[in-house]
C-alpha cells in the first residue's frame, strides 16, 4: 500500500476531508499493536475468571442521566429522529450496571473492551481523544470486604507486568476522604463539590484548586487550608495507616473509621498478593465521577529518566468501588468494584518506547507468485491465480501482480519484502513443475536460482521454507 | 455468574431498563463465538495481504451525504451540541473512501471489522439489528480488469469454507443492468430509481415491484413488463453469457457490451480459482446503494432441508465495484472493489446449527483454591490469595471463594465445573505442601483424595494435569 500524508485538509464541493474533532483513523501496524495489547489484557481477565460482555455503543439517554456529576456535559447525544432519546456511552461502567439491574445478576466477573465517547478538549499526541478504547474488568457481588477490591489491584499489576510498562497505583478511600472534609469543616451538602475540586490536583496547583473552593464553591478560607494540609499526605499503606491511627480527631469520625477498617484489611491482602510496593495511599486522590463509594485508584505511568522527556500521559487507568450504582436502576442493589484501562494511552506509551519500526510485528505476505516467459508470452494470469489459490488453501499468505502481462523486474520489485517467490514458466508448468526461490539469498548460494519442484508439493515445500 | 432473564422491562423512577430499539447486549459464550468468527475471517483477510484499518464510529455528516440513495433516511445523526455536524457510520465503505481520498492512497488491500448503524425496522431473531457488525475487505487501486473482483469472490468462498457454512454467490453487473433498462425503454434519468425497485425483488413478489415502477415511479406498463421478462433470467455464468451473446439488441447497447466483456474475463478467472460452481449470474440482482459501478454480488445462505425450517436469514454479505466513490472527495479517483460480511447474520446461522451448548467453546476456570480446617480454623484467606497469585503468575485461570471463612462443602459446590482443586491445610502449609486434587474422579481411583506436593512445584504439577 502507498499512502502519503497530506499536511492540509482537502476540500471539494465544500466537503471537509477529515475525521471529526478528537478522533483519528488507525491503519496497519498501529491496529495490530492495539490487537496485541487488548489480547494480552483479555488473557489476564480470563485468567481471573472474567466473562466478556458487549453492550450497544449508545444507551437510552435516561440511563446515563445523573451518573457522572460535572462530567455529564461531555456526553454525546444522538439527534431526536423520532423514537427514543439516546446518547453515546460515556464509559463501560454505567452500561454494566444497567445490564446487571436489567437481568437481575447477583454475581459476575465481567470484562468489556470497547470504545467510549466524551466531548472533552482533545490532546491527540498525549492519547487524549474524544473516542477512546477502554478495557474494563469488574467484580459484581456481595463478598467479604476488600477481597474483590484487592483482586482488582492484583489484576492491574499483572496487566502492566505483561505489557512491560512500569507503573504505580495511587489509591484512596471515598469514606476517608468524606470524613476528612467533614472534620476539616466542609458542610455535608458541599462534600461532593469539594471532592471534585480536589480531583483536579493532578492537573492544577493547590493555589488554583483553593481558589475554586473558596471563590466558586464558597468555602471559608481556613477550611480550605485545613483540606490543603490533609491532602499533602501520601505514602505507602503502612505509613499512612499509622498516620491515620495517630490522629484522634480523624479517627473519631465514623466515616473515617469505616474507611480505615477497609484499608487495614486491604494491607493484609496486598501483602498476600505480593503487590504492597506497587501501591501509594494518597489523600489527594478524589476521582470526579459521582458513583464511587469506597476504595478508588488511578494507575500512574512511571517513566524512566529517558522516557520522562518524551512520554507525557496522565493516568492510564482508574477505577474503584461503586456499591450504589446498580441500585439506582432496580429494586435490588449489587456491590461492584472495577478498573478501566485506557488503551489509547497505553498504546501511546508503547509506541514511544518502540523506537524501531521492526519492533511492531505485522503479518506480511509470505509468498509472491510470478510468471516468467519470452517477450510474447501470455502472462500466465489464470495459472498464477490457480497456484496462488493453492497456497491460500494451504493457509499461506500469498499474492501475485494484478496485471495480465507483468514484466519480471516489476514482479521482483513488488516482492521486495516477501521471503519466497514462486516462479511459473510455460515449459515447466507443462511438466507439472514450478520454481520456488527464497528471495535475498547471497550470490553463490546453491539455491540462488531457486529449485524446481512438483506443483503438487508446493504447499509442503513452502511451509518447510517458512519454518526455517 | 448467575443471571436470570426477566420477561418484562423493569422501571424505576420512570427509567426504562432496556437497550435502545434494535440493539442487544451479548454475554459470555456469545461474545466468544463472535470473536472466533471474526478471528477466522481476519486470518483469511491477512492471507490475502489485507491491512487493518480502524476509523471513528462517527463521521462528519457531509462525508456521508449523497452516498446511499434512498437509504440515507436510515442514518443516525448526532445532536448538534456546538461544533461539527456528525453522524454514525452507515457502512465501512464510505469511511474507507474518505480515508483513501484524505491520504492520497493509490493502492491498498484493507480490511475492517466493526459496527455500523442503521435506523431500519429491526427483526432481532433473524439477525436484523440497528447496530450490527460488518467485516469488510476491499481492494483499492488501478489493476487489469476483473483480477481484483475475482479475488474478492474467492475470499467469499474461503470465508464460508472456513466457517463450514454452505453458500452461493448471486452476482450481476451494473453496466449490464443499466443497459437492460435502457433497451427495455427506461428513460436515462429513471434508471437509478428503477434499479432500486428491482433491488426489492428478493423481498417482494414481481407484481409489487411492478406496481412501484408503474405507480410510484411513472414507468409505462409495457416497459415494466419488458424488465420483468429480463430479470427472470439467472443461472451459471457460461449459460448466461451465451444468452447475452445471442441477444443482438442487448449486445448493441454500449453499456451491455462493456459489462459483457468484464463477465467474459471473470468467467476465466473464476475457473482459475476453482469457484465457478459457487456463483449464479442473476439479472434480478440490483443492490440499492448508489455507489456501485460494475460487478455486484450478494451471498446467499444455502440451508439444508432441516435447517430451512428454522434458520431464516436474507443475504449474509454483499458488495461490488465502486470506481467513483473516492473521486467524489478528492481530485484523484481510485477504483475500488470489496465485500461486506454481515457478522450478526452469520452468527445467527452458526448458533442455530450448534444445538448443543458444548459446541460453544469457552475458557472456564481451571483451578479452584480451597481451604480446609477444623471448626475454628482461620479460613486461610491470605494463604489462598498467595497460592492463587502463584497460579495466575503461571498463566493458569484460577479462583477462590471470596469469603474470610468459607465452608468446605460450599467451596466444592462453587468448583463444580472446575477440573482441579488445590486444597490448603494449616499443618500441610507449615511443611510447605499443598494438596492437588482432580475433581470428579470415580470412587476407588488411587488419586481420589488428591496428592500432597511441594507448594513450589504447584504450577508445574497443575500444568501437567491440565495437559492430560
Tell me how far CA of residue A390 lies from CA of A109, A291, A461, B318, B420, in angstroms: 45, 57, 12, 25, 44
Residue B158 to residue B164: CA distance in whole angstroms: 10
Residue of A nearest to B153 (CA): A389
Nearest to A144 among B268, B363, B402 (CB): B402
Ramachandran sector of residue A322 (left: φ over 0; alpha: ψ -120 to 50; beta: rest) = beta
Cell numbers of A212, please? 475554586
Residue B447 to residue B424: CA distance in whole angstroms: 17
Closest listed residue to residue B141, CA positions, set B332, B335, B330, B339: B335
Residue of B nearest to A130 (CA): B56
Find cell 442455530 and name the residue: B352
Give the distance from residue B230's alpha carbon to the nearest chain A alpha carbon, in angstroms.
Answer: 32
Residue A342 to residue A132: CA distance in whole angstroms: 8
Question: Which residue blocks in B280-327 are alpha helix, DSSP H?
Answer: 305-310
Residue B128 to residue B123: CA distance in whole angstroms: 5
Contact residues on chain B for A85, CB-CB shorter than 8 A: none
Class of domain B16-357: alpha beta
Q: Does A302 touch chain B (CB under 8 A)?
A: no
Q: Do residues B197 and B218 make contact, with C-beta atoms less than 8 angstroms apart?
A: no
Burial readout A15-38 (b: 16 or more C-beta within 10 A, e: otherwise): bebbbbebbbbbbbbbbbbbeebb
Ramachandran sector of residue B22 (left: φ over 0; alpha: ψ -120 to 50; beta: rest) = left
* Alpha carbons within 13 A on the beta-carbon side of A321: 24
pLDDT digit string, tens, across residues A155-181 = 999 999 999 999 999 999 999 999 999
pLDDT digit string, tens, across residues B328-344 = 987 789 999 999 999 99
Cell numbers of B155, please? 475470499
Ramachandran sector of residue A444 (left: φ over 0; alpha: ψ -120 to 50; beta: rest) = left
Q: Do residues B331 and B100 make contact, with C-beta atoms less than 8 angstroms apart?
A: no
Q: Taking a contact as any Cβ pair under 8 Å apart, which residues of chain B between 389 and 418 contact chain A?
A: 389, 392-393, 395-399, 402-404
Q: Do B272 and A102 touch (CB under 8 A)?
A: no
Which residues lie across from A123 on neighbouring strands? A128
Question: Per-residue confidence of chain B (468 residues) as pLDDT tens digits?
Answer: 434 444 345 555 567 899 999 999 999 999 999 999 999 999 999 999 999 999 999 999 999 988 888 789 999 999 988 889 999 999 999 999 999 999 999 999 999 999 999 999 888 777 789 999 999 999 999 999 999 999 999 999 999 999 999 999 999 999 999 999 999 999 988 988 898 899 888 888 999 999 999 999 999 999 999 999 999 899 999 999 999 999 999 999 999 999 999 999 999 999 999 999 999 999 999 887 778 999 999 999 999 888 887 777 878 999 999 999 999 987 789 999 999 999 999 998 998 887 654 445 567 899 999 998 766 678 999 999 999 999 999 999 999 999 999 999 999 999 988 999 999 999 999 999 999 999 988 888 888 889 999 999 999 999 999 985
Give the distance from residue B175's alpha carbon to the nearest chain A alpha carbon, in angstroms.
Answer: 22
Nearest to B49 among A58, A63, A397 (CB): A397
The pair phi, psi for residue B170, each rounded to 5°, is -90, 130
Closest listed residue to residue B294, CA positions, set B175, B192, B193: B175
A463 burial type by CB count under 10 A (0-12 exposed, 13-18 middle, 19+ buried): middle
Contact residues on chain A for B269, CB-CB shorter than 8 A: 381-382, 385
Query: Domain segments of chain B: what residues?
Result: 16-357, 367-467
Tell me how far CA of residue B87 lies from CA of B16, B58, B80, B142, B289, in angstroms: 25, 5, 10, 31, 18
How high is the pLDDT of residue B3? 41
Residue B266 to residue B145: CA distance in whole angstroms: 9
A117 burial type by CB count under 10 A (0-12 exposed, 13-18 middle, 19+ buried): buried
Nearest to B54 among A16, A25, A395 (CB): A25
Cβ neighbours of residue A382 under 8 Å, at least 6 residues apart?
Answer: B268, B269, B271, B272
Q: Do B4 and A104 touch (CB under 8 A)?
A: yes
Contact residues on chain B for A83, CB-CB shorter than 8 A: 21, 119
Domain A367-467 fold: Rossmann fold (3.40.50)
Does ipTM come in above 0.85? Answer: yes
Residue A18 to residue A10: CA distance in whole angstroms: 8
Best of A385, A386, A415 to disrupt the B interface by mutation (most B CBs within 10 Å)? A385
Q: Do residues B426 and B373 make contact, with C-beta atoms less than 8 angstroms apart?
A: yes
Amino acid at each position: 500500500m502507498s499512502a502519503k500524508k497530506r499536511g492540509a485538509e482537502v476540500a471539494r464541493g465544500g466537503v471537509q476531508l477529515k475525521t471529526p474533532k478528537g478522533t483519528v483513523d488507525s491503519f496497519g501496524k498501529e491496529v495490530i499493536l492495539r490487537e496485541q495489547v487488548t489480547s494480552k489484557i483479555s488473557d489476564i481477565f480470563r485468567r481471573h475468571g472474567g466473562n466478556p460482555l458487549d453492550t450497544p455503543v449508545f444507551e437510552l439517554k435516561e440511563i446515563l442521566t445523573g451518573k457522572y456529576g460535572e462530567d455529564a456535559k461531555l456526553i454525546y447525544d444522538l439527534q431526536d429522529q423520532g423514537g427514543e432519546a439516546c446518547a453515546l456511552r460515556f464509559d463501560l461502567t454505567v452500561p454494566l450496571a444497567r445490564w446487571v439491574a436489567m437481568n437481575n445478576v447477583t454475581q459476575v466477573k465481567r470484562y468489556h473492551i470497547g470504545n467510549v465517547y466524551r466531548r472533552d478538549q482533545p490532546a491527540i499526541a498525549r492519547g487524549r481523544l474524544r473516542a477512546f478504547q477502554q478495557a474494563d474488568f469488574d467484580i459484581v457481588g456481595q463478598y467479604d470486604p476488600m477481597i474483590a477490591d484487592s483482586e482488582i489491584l492484583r489484576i492491574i499489576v499483572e496487566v502492566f507486568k505483561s505489557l512491560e510498562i512500569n507503573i504505580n497505583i495511587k489509591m484512596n478511600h471515598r469514606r476517608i476522604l468524606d470524613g476528612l472534609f467533614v472534620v476539616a469543616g466542609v458542610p455535608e451538602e458541599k462534600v461532593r463539590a469539594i471532592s471534585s475540586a480536589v480531583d483536579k490536583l493532578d492537573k492544577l496547583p493547590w493555589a488554583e484548586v483553593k481558589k475554586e473552593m473558596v471563590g466558586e464553591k464558597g468555602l471559608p478560607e481556613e477550611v480550605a487550608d485545613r483540606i490543603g494540609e490533609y491532602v499533602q499526605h501520601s505514602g505507602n499503606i503502612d505509613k499512612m495507616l499509622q498516620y491515620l491511627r495517630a490522629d484522634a480527631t480523624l479517627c473519631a469520625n465514623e466515616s473515617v473509621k469505616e474507611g480505615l477498617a477497609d484499608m487495614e484489611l486491604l494491607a493484609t491482602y496486598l501483602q498476600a498478593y505480593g503487590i504492597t510496593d506497587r501501591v501509594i495511599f494518597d489523600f489527594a486522590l478524589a476521582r470526579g465521577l459521582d458513583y464511587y463509594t469506597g476504595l478508588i485508584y488511578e494507575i500512574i505511568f512511571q517513566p524512566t529518566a529517558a522516557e520522562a522527556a518524551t512520554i507525557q500521559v496522565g493516568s492510564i487507568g482508574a477505577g474503584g468501588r461503586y456499591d450504589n450504582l446498580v441500585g439506582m436502576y432496580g429494586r435490588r442493589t449489587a456491590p461492584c468494584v472495577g478498573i478501566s484501562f485506557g488503551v489509547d494511552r497505553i498504546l501511546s506509551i508503547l509506541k514511544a518506547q518502540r523506537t524501531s519500526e521492526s519492533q511492531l510485528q505485522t503479518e506480511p505476505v509470505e509468498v509472491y507468485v510470478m510468471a516468467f516467459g519470452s517477450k510474447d508470452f501470455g502472462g500466465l494470469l489464470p495459472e498464477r491465480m490457480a497456484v496462488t489459490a493453492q497456497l491460500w488453501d494451504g493457509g499461506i499468505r500469498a499474492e501475485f501482480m494484478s496485471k495480465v502481462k507483468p514484466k519480471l523486474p516489476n514482479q521482483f520489485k513488488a516482492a521486495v519484502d516477501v521471503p519466497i517467490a514462486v516462479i511459473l514458466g510455460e515449459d515447466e508448468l507443462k511438466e507439472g513443475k514450478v520454481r520456488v526461490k527464497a528471495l535475498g539469498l547471497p550470490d553463490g548460494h546453491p539455491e540462488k536460482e531457486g529449485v524446481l519442484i512438483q506443483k503438487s508439493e508446493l504447499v509442503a515445500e513452502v511451509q518447510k521454507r517458512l519454518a526455517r
